[in-house]
Structure 1
């Protein structure tokens, strides 16, 4: 598939060849120094080809060069030494051609081709993002052509067109850059919307899994409770209490749970302990491997605990991921306060 850059480069070469060929058709006038004329033609041709191809962006980088201000944009910019050569060419070529032809032939088409040729060269320089170099070349072209031909004749022979080409090139370049920036912002917004949609889909899936797990845990005991009108025996009441605790765990701290942790929490409740699990956002930013390490330590802490009440909650501290606190009755009196007999901090993985 032919790229836009290939088409533009082909047009640039064709237009340059057309303008330069006019300088080799020495009809209707005399050339006093043909070698100088040919050397000026070759200098112009070489400079134009260098501006077209030196450090040119790849076809897939043409649009990216207008989007960012980093390496991709600098890659599309014309190198400084080629820019300097373009300025030198805009000085040498007009004066060399005017010196090489006879005074009565200086307004002939083969002698004035440089006005359009240098204008086309400065358009290429403008597209290669050397704005000031392009306008400097146009100013030097205007000064040389007006000095040799006179202001009115220079304007009539193509100077106006050369200036307009550069103006249009600059306006088009700005429009393309603005369109590229808008496209980039739109793409960023689209990526953000896609990420938000994916996160919402993930959260919905997570909620659906939690609801299914909760129904699997609490469904059987709820069905028996409804069937018996709430008349449960001792074992069934224990199962109901455990099911209630499991349901709370699934709703309040799903990221703290895996099969091992769930088993240890059930074992703690079956031996009579009251367990509270709360996930308050302290695990944000942790991957699955880090969560697995935290859950393994949590399961070990619950397994070793002998407290009457266990409080498991995530920590906002940067160094601590989960805090496990155990409290037990300090004495037999109703006025005795519970004592803390377990305090364990699970560190945040690094």
Structure 2
């Protein structure tokens, strides 16, 4: 968020205006320069140097090559500016680039190139002192004219440090919010799953539980059989969760009532795709409805296996051939063996 604020279009426009002010001053001063051609070269290299450091690269830290190139161009611009001046001119009056140079150093500091900023400043001070020695200004007074640049570069590095600290705090806070949301969603999912489970148990066994709790009459063989069938249904809903639709549970209950052994197993642990579940349910119901004896096994294979569901019916009689049905993962295509 902070990075986007720094490189917001309005911010870039403000930066462009800031760095264009020295260009306007330089253009206005060019006719009065002792060597206008050198001044023109200084303006061109200045614009290129600024463009390289303010360009919104993907990362906040300036890449190495553009940084080196920009520093070299800025130093060339400063040198050409001093060369274009009449040695008798006042230094402050001829420093058209002062505002832009200070901004250049600030950008280097903020964009994590403070070392290059200090190197640029040191060389610029040396150039100023050289010009001061050749002019009537004096060596040390020329050097002191860059004192504000030192403070600005130092301040920019402090700003960059605070920026990094704020960014780290913001990222940490964002991770905490995401973690809290994930935890809340997980809790909601757990509560939802628990609620669904309670409702399923109530739907399957609610009547029998009421019978046990409130009916004082003796338990009959029919009641015991219903208890057994209901217990098997509950077991199917747990062990074969991904394939145990309400329709399949009822058909499996009816098959057990006819004496068929039914096993519904889930090795997948994840819901089946709709097309696969629909195909598996239809095939399993056909097998269970047709079975009068023997055993039926319905097994969901782990995710990633080419077979999603495998259905086997062994009638345990010579007159009835075993049936094996394979439901393909992804497509729900049916293969019989």
Q: 1:50 to 1:316 in 2, by over 3 A?
A: closer
Tell me the equivalent position of 1:231: 218
Matched position secondary structure for 1:254 = coil
Q: 1:263 to 1:121 in 2, by over 3 A?
A: same
Aligned match of 2:285 in 286, 291, 299?
299
Stretch of structure 1 that moved more, 128-137 or 293-302: 128-137
Residues in 1 aligned to 2:218 and 2:62: alpha-carbon distance in whole angstroms: 84
Instruction: With the length of structure 2 as denominator, give the TM-score of the two structures.
Output: 0.71
Tell me the equivalent position of 1:102: 86
Question: 1:271 Cα shift?
Answer: 0.8
Residue 148 (1) aligns with residue 148 (2)? no
Structure 1 stretches lacking a partner, 5+ long: 58-71, 332-339
Tell me the equivalent position of 1:117: 100
Question: 1:91 Cα shift?
Answer: 2.8
Aligned match of 1:87 in 71, 81, 99?
71
Question: 1:210 Cα shift?
Answer: 2.2
Residues in 1 aligned to 2:281 and 2:165: alpha-carbon distance in whole angstroms: 51
Residues in 1 aligned to 2:140 and 2:279: alpha-carbon distance in whole angstroms: 84
Q: CA RMSD in A?
A: 4.3
8 Å CA contact 2:46, 2:77 repeated in 1: no
Question: 1:33 Cα shift?
Answer: 1.4
Aligned match of 1:273 in 260, 264, 267?
260
Q: 1:322 to 1:13 in 2, by over 3 A?
A: closer
Stretch of structure 1 that moved more, 33-42 or 91-100: 33-42
Tell me the equivalent position of 1:337: none
Instruction: With the length of structure 1 as denominator, give the TM-score of the two structures.
Output: 0.69
Matched position secondary structure for 1:349 = coil
Matched position secondary structure for 2:242 = helix
Residues in 1 aligned to 2:257 and 2:271: alpha-carbon distance in whole angstroms: 34
Matched position secondary structure for 1:99 = helix
Bigger RCO of structures 1 and 2 (CA < 8 A, at least 6 apart): 1
Tell me the equivalent position of 1:67: none
Tell me the equivalent position of 2:334: none
Question: 1:14 Cα shift?
Answer: 5.8
8 Å CA contact 2:85, 2:94 repeated in 1: yes
Q: 1:121 to 1:83 in 2, by over 3 A?
A: same
Residue 169 (1) aligns with residue 190 (2)? no
Tell me the equivalent position of 2:330: 349
Residues in 2 aligned to 1:39 and 1:271: alpha-carbon distance in whole angstroms: 101
Residues in 2 aligned to 1:131 and 1:285: alpha-carbon distance in whole angstroms: 56
Residues in 2 aligned to 1:132 and 1:302: alpha-carbon distance in whole angstroms: 79
Tell me the equivalent position of 1:193: 180
Q: 1:7 to 1:252 in 2, by over 3 A?
A: same
CA offsets 1:282-327 (integer angstroms, 9 cap, x no match)? 1437544444444344434434545544444444474244455666
Structure 2 stretches lacking a partner, 5+ long: 134-138, 332-337
Please list, as runs of the form range in 1=range in 2, the aligned pairs for 1:1-350 lying within 5 A after superposition.
Answer: 5=8, 8-9=11-12, 12-13=15-16, 15-16=18-19, 33=34, 35-36=36-37, 39=40, 42-43=43-44, 46-47=47-48, 50=51, 55-56=55-56, 72-73=58-59, 84=69, 86-106=70-90, 108-127=91-110, 134=117, 137-149=120-132, 152-158=140-146, 160-229=147-216, 231-280=218-267, 282-284=268-270, 286-316=272-302, 318-319=304-305, 320-324=307-311, 346-349=327-330
Residues in 2 aligned to 1:291 and 1:122: alpha-carbon distance in whole angstroms: 66
